[in-house]
């Protein structure tokens, strides 16, 4: 199993999108990239901790590649908006790829460059690509939130 971590706005929809992929074994909504240890949702929503809402994806690389996960990441959000996705505004909603090793970083940078040159975007891609730091799992009510609300089915 391998791990990937993506921030693409509110983690509820991001988690749901990745859970549907064959080869994704589990997902967890959480926070990464900030300065406070063990942040809560309330902390992160102040826009003062520096954390992004992220989804940690555990996947089987024999069933789905990191490249395929990157493709899905780019599809599910607008990577040209700074600290915003739809109506959600703040650094916690930024577009970010947290890389767990050099191979992920290389793949993420190559995919971003490819989309920058060939993609459908009229504006520059602002997605951050950085090394993964400590992942803090979000409160339980955020896990599989859309499924719990009956808004999507697995």
Mean pLDDT for all residues in the chain: 94
Tens of pLDDT, residues 23-45? 999 999 999 999 999 999 999 99
Domain membership flag for residue 153 = no
Domain membership flag for residue 14 = yes
Domain membership flag for residue 154 = no
The domain in which residue 46 lies consists of: 2-148
CA distance 13 to 77: 10
Q: What is the pTM of this model?
A: 0.94
In 3-state terms the chain splits into helix, strand, coil percentages (rounded to 5) of: 30, 25, 40
Tens of pLDDT, residues 56-96? 999 999 999 999 999 999 999 999 999 999 889 999 999 99
Identify the residue with better confidence: 6 or 146. 6
Which one of the listed residues 10, 45, 99, 153 is annotated catalytic? 10
Is the Cα dihedral 35, 41, 42, 48 positive or negative? Answer: positive
| Percent of the chain predicted with pLDDT > 70 | 98
Q: How confident is the model at residue 152 (pLDDT cuts 50, 70, 90)?
A: low
Domain membership flag for residue 91 = yes
Phi, psi of 58 (to 5 degrees): -100, 125
Total domains in the fold of the chain: 1
Domain membership flag for residue 106 = yes
Average pLDDT over residues 109-117: 95
Can 10 be counted among the known catalytic residues? Answer: yes
- Listed range (16-20, 116-120, 130-134, 150-154) with the worst mean pLDDT: 150-154
Which structure tokens are listed for 101? 């090793």
Beta strands 52-59 and 84-85, pairing class: unpaired
Q: Cα separations (Å) of 108 from 5, 29, 50, 98, 102? A: 11, 20, 21, 9, 10
Q: What is the CATH number of the domain that holds 84?
A: 3.30.1060.10
């Amino acid at each position: 199993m391998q791990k990937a971590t993506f921030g693409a706005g509110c983690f509820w929809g991001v988690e749901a999108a990745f859970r549907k992929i064959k080869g994704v074994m589990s997902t967890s909504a959480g926070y990464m990239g900030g300065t406070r240890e063990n942040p809560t949702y309330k902390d992160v929503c102040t826009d003062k901790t520096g954390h992004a809402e992220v989804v940690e994806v555990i996947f089987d690389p024999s069933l789905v590649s990191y490249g395929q996960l990157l493709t899905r990441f780019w599809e599910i959000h607008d990577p040209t908006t700074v600290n915003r996705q739809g109506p959600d505004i703040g650094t916690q909603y930024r577009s970010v790829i947290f890389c767990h090793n050099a191979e992920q970083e290389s793949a993420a940078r190559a995919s971003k460059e490819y989309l920058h040159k060939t993609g459908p975007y009229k504006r520059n891609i602002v997605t951050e690509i950085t090394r993964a730091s400590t992942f803090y799992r979000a409160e339980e009510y955020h896990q599989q939130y859309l499924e719990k609300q009956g808004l999507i089915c697995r």
